[in-house]
């Protein structure tokens, strides 16, 4: 399957710990997006890369959040000093120059 993959699928951590998620986009997709989704809500945009350049960051992305896409392929999203409010599904999507975004299965984070 050449779809978007995300790892881990589930993560449970204690408040104050750091976590890192990985997203592998569809091969040759140059745009990669991160979203956060809480229960009963739609996905909320966090940040977006074109190749290795981070071009847009939402105001939702606090200083504790950092994302990278070092070689323009996979991306990582790190959350430092996690808080209970960070508990959510973190979704990654990729696309070429078209508007259609292809989403991965998400990483579900639970902060205790």
C-beta closer to another protein: residue 7 or 50 = 50
C-beta closer to another protein: residue 42 or 70 = 42
Query: For residues 93 and 100, what is the distance between their CA atoms, to the nearest angstrom?
Result: 10
Instruction: Report, in Å, the least distance between residue 1 CB and another protein.
Output: 13
Listed in sequence order, the DSSP H helices in the chain are: none
Terminus-to-terminus CA distance in the chain, angstroms?
34
Of these, 75, 86, 104, 109, which contacts another protein (CB under 8 A)? 104
The token pair that represents 82 in the structure block: 């996690």
Determine if 50 is a binding residue for another protein (CB under 8 A).
Answer: yes
């Amino acid at each position: 399957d050449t779809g978007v993959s995300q790892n881990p699928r589930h993560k449970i951590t204690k408040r104050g710990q750091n976590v890192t998620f990985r997203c592998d986009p569809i091969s040759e997709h140059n745009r990669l997006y991160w979203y956060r989704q809480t229960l009963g809500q739609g996905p909320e945009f966090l940040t977006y890369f074109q190749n290795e350049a981070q071009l847009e960051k939402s105001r939702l992305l606090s200083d504790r959040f950092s994302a990278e896409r070092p070689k323009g392929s996979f991306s990582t999203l790190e959350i430092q000093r996690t808080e209970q409010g960070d508990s959510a599904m973190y979704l990654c999507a990729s696309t070429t120059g078209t508007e259609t975004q292809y989403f991965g299965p998400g990483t579900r984070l639970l902060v205790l």
